[in-house]
Amino acid sequence: MKQYSELYKLLTQTDLARVARKARMDIDDVRQEARLLCWSMATGQSTYNEQKGTPKQYIMGCLWGLADHEHFHAHQEANEATDHLMEIMEDEGSNPLEKLLEDEKLKTGHYLPDSTQFTAAMTLEEMLWFSGASYAAISEFTGIGKTTVFKRISKKFQGLKGLK
DSSP-derived letter for residue 161 is S
Q: What share of the chain is helix, strand, coil (3-state, %, to 5)?
A: 70, 0, 30
- Ordered DSSP codes for 89-145: HHHTT--HHHHHHHHHHHHHT-----HHHHHTT--HHHHHHHTT--HHHHHHHH---
Rounded distance between C-alpha atoms, residue 72 and residue 69, angstroms: 5
Q: pTM for this one?
A: 0.43
Query: From first to last of its 164 residues, what are the pLDDT tens digits of the chain?
Result: 678 888 989 998 999 998 888 888 888 989 999 999 999 999 988 888 888 889 999 999 999 888 877 766 655 666 666 666 666 655 555 566 777 777 777 667 655 555 565 666 777 787 777 777 888 888 888 888 888 888 888 887 665 555 44
